[in-house]
Structure 1
C-alpha cells in the first residue's frame, strides 16, 4: 500500500463516522439556566420575617431541571430615619437532590431584623458555575418590635354563632408601653379535628368578634394575635392560648298548625298540617281532661302528623301538639291550637 493510500483511508473513515447520526444545534448558555424563583412572599411574625418562594423545576427553555445547587439570598437593609445607613447581607441555602425532588416551595426564616429599618430580599437559583437564574425580588417591608401576646381570650357558643372576647394589648413584646401605636387583631380558627388553623381574612379593630360562619354541633377552636401596622407593614405578635367551643341550636321549630280532633266510638283521631321545619324530629301530643293535669301521650315524638288516642274514660278532652327538632337539646315548639272533643263510650 502506498503512503498516499495510508493517509487517505483514515480520512475517509473520519468523514464517514462524522456523517453518522444527527446532532441538534447547541443551546445558548442562558437557555439552560433555572427559571426565576416564583411567588415570592414575606410574612412578618413576632420572631422576624418568613421569606418563601417557589423552587424552580424547569430551565428557561422549558426543559426540566435535574437539580440545583442552592439559592443565593441577598438582604438589603436601610434605616427609616437615616437613609444613608444601609447594608447588605448574603445567605447561601444548599438544596440537596432529595430536597429538590420533594419540595416545591422553600421557607427562609430571618430572625435578625432591627427595629426602625426597611428590608427587601433578592433571590437567585444557582444550578452551577455561570448557570444562575435571573433575580426574584420580594416586596419592601418595615420592621419594629411586635405587639405583646393576647391574654384573656374567651369564647361563648350561641345558636349558629360563637362570640369571642379578649383583653386589649397595651404593650410591645419587649415590655415597653405601646405609646403612639394602636393594634388590630388577627383571628385564627380551626375545627377541632383539623390540625392547622387558618386566619380569618379581615383584621378586627375591637376586642370582640362574632363568628356566624359556624355549624351547630361542630366544635371550633380559636387563637388571636395583635397586629401592628408599621409603615404599611403588618407585624404580628404571639398568638394567644387556644379556646374551643361548640355552637348549639337554641331555636325551636314553629308550632304545628291546623290541629283537628275527631271523636270515634273507640277513640279520638288527631290530624294536623305537616311541619316544614328542616330539622324536624317529630311531634309530641298532649291530652288534658277537664279538671285534671295534662298528659304527654308520646314520650317519643311521632314522625307523622296524625295520632289516634284512646281516652281511659268518657269526658271532655283538650288536645294540642308541639314540634320537636333533631338538635341535641331537642328544642320544643310552642303549642299548636287547642281542640276540644266530648268523648263517649259506645
Structure 2
C-alpha cells in the first residue's frame, strides 16, 4: 500500500502496488551424473550410457577419448570409447541466468585393451642428487586384460647419458605378470649439474610401453664457510664444491638475510673490504656452474657465517686456491697455486700426507717465503702424496687450499 502527501500534509487515497521479485539468482546450480552411477571399467570399443536427472537450462558434457567427444543434451545416451586409457568425464549444468556449477561432477572411465597388455609407470617424477650421489626410481608394471607375460626393462635418454651419469640397472631386470622394479642411476664426483630426461621402456614380445622421469644433478652447497674480521674488512674462505666453476658470495646486515651478492669469484676465498668497523656482517655462499643448454645452475646457500670488523685489528688471510701437483722427476713433486688475495702474506705453509691413510700434521710440513710454487724432494719414489697450502700473515694462518694428490715417479 502506498500513500502520497499533498502540500498540507494530507494523505491521498491508498494505492496498491505489486512488486515482482527479480528472477536473477545468485545461487549457482548443482549438477549430478545419474548414469552411470559410479566409475566404470570397460574394454576398448564398448559404450556407456550417460545421463542426468538434474533440471537445467543448458548442459555441457565432455567425453575425452569418447565418441561423441561432447554433448549438450540432458541425456546423451551411449558414448563409445575406442582406445585404452583412463578418462575423466565431466558434466556442467547452466541455469537460466547463466550461472554454472562451480564443481562439475565427474566419472572416471577406465578402458582396457581388447587383448592382453600392460601399463608401465615410474615414480617419482624427478629425483635430485649432488655429484657422486645415487638416485633410485620405482618402476611399476600393471597387467591388463589377462596379461601374464614377462616385461623386460631398459632405460635411456634422447641424447644418451652425459659424462659421469650411468645406469646402475634395474632390480629385478624384468617383471613377470606384474609388479615393481627399482632403477638406480649413478653419478660421479665430476658430473656437472644437469637436468636429464629418462625414458623407461618395458617390452614383452611385440608389446612396448614407456614412462618418463627426470634426474636432476645439482651442486652441493659449500660447507664450512669461515669469516675472519679485520680492519674494515672480512676475509672469507670455504672448501670447494664438486663440479662448481664459480661461487656467489652474499652479504647481509641482518641475521638470516635478505642477502645481496657482492662477489662472484672462481676460487674459494674473497676479501670483503670497505666495511664499517663495529658492524656485524652476515655471509653465505653458493656454488655455481655454467654449462650447455641442459647444464648449469646454482646450489643452495651454505650455512651462514658472521664477523664484525674492528679498527686496528688484522685478520688471517684468505686461503690460496688452484693448488696443482705433478711429478716430473723421480723422487720429486712440484706444487703450484694461486696466492691468497689478502695483502700482507709473508709466507706459505705446505702440508703433506700419504694418500693411502695418511693425515695432515698439525703444523706445516714446510714453511716457505710467500710464493706460488714449491718442489718437494723429500718423498719416496712410486708413492702417492696429497698436499694443501695455507697463507700466513702477521695475524695468523689461513684455512687450507684445495687438496691435490699425485704419485711420484
What TM-score range do you get, normalising by the shorter chain?
under 0.3
Tell which has more relative contact order, 1 or 2 (C-alpha 8 A, sep 6+): 1
Which structure's residues are more often strand, by fraction?
2
